[in-house]
Each structure stands twice: as C-alpha cells, then as structure tokens.
Structure 1
Amino acid sequence: MDEPELLVESDGGVLTVTFNRPRQRNAMTWGMYEGLYDACERADADDEIRVMVLKAAGDKAFVAGTDISQFADFSSGADGVAYEEKIARIVTRLEDVGVPTVAVVRGFCVGGGLGIASVCDLRVAARSARFGIPIARTLGNCLSMNNYSLLLQHLGPARTLDMLLRARLFTGEEAAAAGFVAELCEDGDLDATADGVVQTLLGHAPLSMWAAKEAVRRIRRASIPNGDDIVGRVFGSEDFHTAVAAFAAKQPVVWQGR
C-alpha cells in the first residue's frame, strides 16, 4: 500500500505536516494542497495546538514546486488565473493560521515550495537549502501578485528581481543574510535546531504572537493590486504552452516572447 502524500501528526502541542513524495522531490499535487488546507483548519480548530511545523520527507527537497502535470491541460490565460486563485486559497489559509508556523527546509525550496515557505512565520534551514523560482528558464510562466508581494516583503525589490530575472537559486547562507531564514545550521543539526525554535515558541504568549502575525499580514495585504491581466497574458502565451510540453519531453525551449 502506498504511503500518503501528506502526513499530518499532532504531538505535545505541535501539529507537524510532512510533504511525503521524496522521489518526486515533494512536488505538490492538488491532493497535497488540499491536505495542507485541511491541516490549517485542524490547527485552528484544536485549542491544544500551539505551533504548526512544515517539513519534508527525504533529503533532496522541501518542496520542488507544483507537479508539472497539473499544467498539461491549460489552454488559455483564464486557466492560469484560475490556477493562481486555487493556489492563493491554500497559501492564504496557511498565512492565516493563528498559531506560529515554522518551515523546516533541507534541499530545494523552489516554485510553489518557496511560496509555501514564504507564508510561514519562520524558516529554519540547513546549509544545503536552495531557494528560488527559476521559471524564467523552465516554464516561462509568472507569479500571482500575492506571491510577488511576499517576495518583496522578505527580500526587497533588488533581491527579488535578481532571483526572478536571473532564475537563480539563493544558497542557505544568502537566504539567511537576507533575513528570510531565521536559523541556518548544518544538515545534520536541522531537526535539533528546528526543535529548539519550536520549544521557544511553545513557551511564549499565544496572543502576543498572534497579534504580531496578524499585524504583519494586514499591512502586507493592504497594498496588493490586482494582477489577473499579467497572469492571463503569461499563462496564455505560446511560450508557456511550448515550455510545458518541452519540460515533459526534457527538451530545450526557444523563447519567442509571445
């Protein structure tokens, strides 16, 4: 019997969500996204839960984006807008969780994985961690305005454009220097370091932490403009449809800009 793609366990006031597709570098399926949403509901419904932790099975990746097969049936820009709305429902719910959320990152944290980590309150990472959204050299798609806002909040405009335009991955050290990673450690120390952060959070005042989370969230969201026109143009482009097929066939893409 196959193991579940997402594991959710509660112990000692901590709800732990484990992305469990290590052979696929924990690329997210729709079922995993929905399971993450349900875990957020559980965290807020259970008064015993004081911290929510997100981590991954295996040592290659936290989450290596959304499973590319999810894009195979896209036929227009409207499909891209609908996709981003579905993703926004999940990441917004994660950002809205009332207790502190901690992403524990080893290996690749890219694409949708970076979006998930970005809405967590704290990130603990191993030196092997790599952070980025290399879509300019892979699928030729774009982000939602909400995700651009998250990157700007965490990295600032210069680092955000560096990450996106050059499609490069930030090292654990670079992410820590930018303030995106709260604790950076050796790979073998990741679990112990993450547990130390969790234990600190368990000892702090829940309402003080909630107020800080809520204030930061409201300030960020207050300035997000609509970006459906951007998403529709890019996801409806010839470049995107060509790139999805090329990715599946492991072929290079010749970008046309249309």
Structure 2
Amino acid sequence: MKTKISQADLGQWEKWKTERDPDAGNYLVEKYHHLMDYVIQRFMISLPKTVQKEDIQSYAYEGMLDAIDKFNLDGEFKFETYAAWRIKGAIIDGLRQSDWLPRSVREKVKKVEKAYAVLEQRNGTSASDEEVCTYLGITKAELNKTVSEAALSSMISIDETIQDDENDQVGRYNVIKNEKAESPEAHLYAQLLKESLAKAIELLPEKEKLVVTLCYFEELKLTEIAEVLNLSVSRISQLHSKAMLRLNAAILSVQENY
C-alpha cells in the first residue's frame, strides 16, 4: 500500500510540481538522499576498482532528479520505490554509455559462467578456482580479474533500457511479452529455475553463501558485510562476484536444458 505523504512534504512536492521552486527541489533531494546512498552501495559491491565512485554518484544524482521530476503523486507506487528504480536505471545507462566493460571482457565472463555450469553440473559440487582455470586454460590472476568485472555485466544486459510508448526508458525485462504466461510450460520452467537456483545457493562455498545471504536477504551494505565477516571490502566484492557467476551458471543450465 502506498505510504501517505506528510502535509509538510506534500507542500514541498506541490511547490516543485506547480512552480518548479528550487528550494522545494533542494528539500526533496536532501530528504531522499539516503536512497542514492543505498543504491550506490548495492552497485559498488559488483563494480571493478576501475570504476570511480564519483561517477556512480553523478549518475545516481541524475536519476534522483529525473525521479523527482517525473514522479506522479497520485500514482500507484511509493516515491522510494520509484526513485530507487530510476536511480538504478541512470547508473546502468551511465555505465553502458561509458563503455566500462569492453566486449572482449564480456566474452570472457560468458566463458567463465559456462565453465562453472559445466563443472558444477558434472561434479555436483562447487567448482574450485583451480578447476575453472584448468578447464579454461587460464591463470588464477586472469580468473580473478574476470571475476572482479563479471557481476554487473549480466545485470546491465538484463536491465538494458528501451523506449516505451511514452518515450520513457524502462527495463527490457519490464516490457518483454511472456508468450507462455499461465501455461503449464511456463509454470514448469519457473519451477525448474527456482529449484536450480535453490540448489546452486545451497552448493555455494560457505563464505559466498554468507555474502549472498547478508546482501540479498539481510540487505546489508558492502561495508557492513565486510565488518560482519571480518574481511576486506575488496574480498567481499570478489566473493559476491564469484557467487553471481555460479548462480548465473545455474540459470544458463536450465535455459540450455529446457
């Protein structure tokens, strides 16, 4: 259910919507600034060190301004939900436009995902770094470099924005028509995917499983996870990336075998 906006905040919203009052705009940006911080933290766990946090903050700010400008006070969603989506989209668009991940790296990521899928399906256990390196014929350093750049590449591919009927950008997954909706085939596919992901999470090495749990179920920030596990932030980022590669591999297996 939509959260009721206080009278004080509603007054600021109306000033911005009707008058474009700069003070009202500044008030709204400051009030919801924590949303930018939250989304940025969630992204930084997946980004390689080559991406500057200042750039992500700039993209997030653009997303916040866009959300404030386009938010419908009478709409269905809470502003927090709408703004988080807009901020995320702005960051993804900014990263894509900056071409931060070359095609050659994307191809390497796909090869690593494929390696995890083949090895873990074959052995029924989590593939070790050594097994993946041997399978691909690469060094541990090459694997670690690919892992550090891997997680967000799949997210950007899924979240690629397109234009909707009102010339507004939306995520591709939001507008793809589901030809099998409510069909037995769709239900079976969803069930297989759910079971595969559950099994993949269960098979994750203990530290990777902890990072996934703390990140997506407890919703802790990167720095908080590092503190809980008494590890460096960069180590948490690496564990997260490896876990995402394994889970993406599980999805890939279902798609190829369905």
| Same fold at TM > 0.5 | no
Q: Which has the higher strand share?
A: 1
Higher helix share: 2
Question: Which protein has the larger Cα radius of gyration, Structure 1 or Structure 2?
Answer: 2
TM-score by length of 2: 0.27
Q: TM-score when scaled to structure 1?
A: 0.27
